[in-house]
Each structure stands twice: as C-alpha cells, then as structure tokens.
Amino acid sequence: MKKKVLILSGGISKERLISLDTGLQVAKELKKNGYNVKISEPDNNLAKNIKIFKPCVVFNALHGQFGEDGYVQTILERFKVPYTHSGVIASSIAMDKEISKKIFIKNKIKTPKFIIYSYDISKLNLIKKIQKKLKFPVVVKPINEGSSVNVFICNKSNILKIINFLKNYKKVMIEEYIGGREIQVAIMGNKKLGAIELKPKRKFYDYKAKYNTNSKTKHIIPVDLKSKHLKKVMGMALNAHKKIGCKGVTRSDFKFFKDKFYLLELNTQPGMTKLSLVPEIAAFKGITFIKLIEWIINDATKKR
C-alpha cells in the first residue's frame, strides 16, 4: 500500500467550492493509483482525523483565507505532519498582496504601481490621489483574496461605489491597470516548469473566466513569445518564488504590455481542477496529473 494522504479541502473562504473540486479530483487520482486517501475539512475534526488516520502527508487543497495564508500551515506545524506547498511565512507573504508587492519592488521585479486604501481614511481625496499617482482606469481588489474574488476594473465614475461595496475589508489595494496579454508561469521546486497564455472573452481573467466552463477563455500553449521574452518572464517567476521563500509548485500571473512584463501576484497553492493551469502546463511538458500530484507529495516530505 502506498502512502496515507489526508486531503484538506473546503474551508470557509470564498473559494470553498474550488477547493472542494481540487480536493475531489486529487483524491480520485490518488485512489486510482493505490493511495490510502481521506478527505477532511479544516474544522474541529482535523486534529481527530490526523490522530486516527495517521497520514504520511497532508495534501493542502485549500484556497483563499485560512487555507493558503499561513493559518492552517501553523496548525499543521503543531501536529508535526508534512504538508504540501509553501510553509507558514511564505504562504502568509504571498497571500498579502501589499507585502508581496513590496518584496517584488525591493528585488526589482516589475509590478503595477499601487496605493492602499484604508476604510478609516476619508474618501474625499481618493480620486485626486489616484489621478496623481496612478491614473484611471484602476484595478481595485482586497489584499488577501485569491482567484480574482472581488476584483474590479474601475473608472472615476464608479470607483467610490466599488470602494463602498468592499467596505467589509479593512483595506483594499488600488492598482495601476495594465492592458496587454495574460501570461501565467508555473514553477516546480526551483525549476521553471512552463508558461501559458490566456485570452478571456471577458475584460480580464476574473473569477468567472477562471472557473465557469462556459467562459470561453482560450488557453494558448506553447506561448507565442520571442525566446528572450519567454526567458525573461520565466526568470521573473522563479526569482519571485525564491525571494518569497516558496516551496513546491507556484503559479505567477503576469501582464505583458509594450515589451514589459508586470507581475500581478504569486499563487502558492494553484488549483488542481479540470480548468486549472498548472496541470495543463505540466501535461504539455509530459508530466501526467498523477505524476504532478506525486511530485508535490514527495516534495512535501523533504525538510522545510
């Protein structure tokens, strides 16, 4: 019998359904290949499930808050059980768009300009500040959500309405809007796995474009880029992966505009669904879904 794998999926974030899908598809593939698998929610039964099931490794299929922001990683560290993907600090940094952007900037990794809006500050001077520092249109998003949840492209006419809509967040990021092409790069360990281009029918690669099977987003692989450009964007992704201190597989989201790449964000726990990009990039490189999962599991058992 192969390893016992406890799969963490579900959770309480806005990405719960995506996480459940990832968990089910990973579990199905592992069971088909002889693994002893159990799926668990990250709830009060987690400690009991770990104690009774005694997994060799936890496959963290959670997405969003409490799943990929260092929170559940801290809990798993307490149980001294190996778990997939990045550790506590790297997960926390990557999930916080403000902190991760500051690391990109410090390491000369090009990223869109931004300002942070806190809800304890008056909205009166916000438009003037945007016009001075960023110019419209801008992208407005929470600093700690994934999968483009609650991300909006805003103009002067609707910015305050969107800011008000997002008032349950303590603060939001207002970012320079970059047009151009959507390029995603996967890193596997410390190696450049590959890249894929997305052409969404929608205005940008938002939540619906990512997870709605009817979104008609076009996936282009291999990416039609000059070799020097492909080398550049792959190098930027690997550099960001290393500077944040990531482990396992990550996916970095870029915009390519006027011969320049802009890193939007880095995802420490990319999805493993039928529409997910990392498995698609891996398949193009000759790595089957089960081989990808097994690599992630084996990587998790190495010393952090």
Instruction: Report how far Cα 18 is from the mean position of its chain's Cα atoms.
Output: 12
Which pLDDT band holds residue 205 (cuts at 50, 70, 90)?
Answer: very low
Q: Which residues contact 226 (CB under 8 A, 6 or more apart)?
A: none
Question: Would you state the pLDDT for residue 213?
Answer: 54
Tens digit of each residue's pLDDT (9 = 90 or more) over 241-267 = 999 999 999 999 999 999 999 999 999
Tens digit of each residue's pLDDT (9 = 90 or more) over 112-156 = 999 998 877 777 688 888 888 998 999 999 888 765 678 899 998
Question: Would you state the pLDDT for residue 203?
Answer: 56
Q: Would you call 231 helix, strand, or coil by DSSP?
A: helix
Which one from 40, 248, 251, 262 is the annotated catalytic residue? Answer: 251
Catalytic-residue membership of 265: yes
| CA distance readout (Å), 10 to 36, 65, 132, 279 | 20, 11, 42, 20
Which one from 10, 15, 91, 276 is the annotated catalytic residue? Answer: 15
Catalytic-residue membership of 211: yes
Which among 193, 175, 176 has a CA at the least distance from the CA of 184?
A: 193
Catalytic-residue membership of 98: no
Q: Would you call 214 helix, strand, or coil by DSSP?
A: coil
**Greater pLDDT, 287 or 44:** 287
Q: Where do the domains of the chain lie, and which CATH numbers do they carry?
A: 4-85 (3.40.50.20), 114-176 (3.30.1490.20), 179-300 (3.30.470.20)
- Find the DSSP H helices in the chain: 16-32, 46-53, 71-79, 88-95, 97-106, 126-133, 159-165, 207-211, 227-244, 277-284, 289-300
Neighbours of 28 (CB within 10 A): 12
Q: What is the average per-residue pLDDT within 182-205?
A: 87
| CA distance readout (Å), 119 to 138, 149, 153, 165 | 18, 19, 19, 12
Question: Would you state the pLDDT for residue 214?
Answer: 53
Compute the C-alpha angle 195/196/199, nearest 5°: 150
Which one from 19, 60, 271, 280 is the annotated catalytic residue? Answer: 271
Q: Which residue has the tokens 């190996």?
A: 82
Which one from 175, 265, 280, 294 is the annotated catalytic residue? Answer: 265
- Taking only Cα atoms into account, the Rg of the chain, rounded to an integer number of angstroms, comes to 19
Given a cut of 70, is residue 303 above it in pLDDT?
A: no
* Residue % of the chain over a pLDDT of 70: 93
Which among 304, 281, 301, 292 has a CA at the least distance from the CA of 30?
A: 292
Which one from 40, 147, 150, 252 is the annotated catalytic residue? Answer: 147
| CA distance readout (Å), 145 to 38, 54, 265, 269, 280 | 27, 31, 11, 13, 23
Which one from 117, 205, 207, 211 is the annotated catalytic residue? Answer: 211
Encoded amino acid at 182, one letter: E
Which one from 68, 145, 176, 253 is the annotated catalytic residue? Answer: 253
What's the CA dihedral at 138, 141, 144, 148 to 10 degrees?
-110
Q: Which helix (H) or strand (E) holds 45?
A: none
Question: Would you state the pLDDT for residue 207?
Answer: 43
Catalytic-residue membership of 120: no
DSSP 168: T
pTM of the model: 0.88
Which one from 9, 92, 267, 276 is the annotated catalytic residue? Answer: 267
Catalytic-residue membership of 207: no
Catalytic-residue membership of 36: no
Catalytic-residue membership of 251: yes
Q: Would you call 188 helix, strand, or coil by DSSP?
A: strand
Catalytic-residue membership of 271: yes
Given a cut of 80, is residue 15 above it in pLDDT?
A: yes
Tens digit of each residue's pLDDT (9 = 90 or more) over 21-65 = 999 999 999 999 999 999 999 888 898 999 999 999 999 999 988
Tens digit of each residue's pLDDT (9 = 90 or more) over 65-114 = 888 888 899 999 999 999 999 999 999 999 999 999 999 999 999 999 99
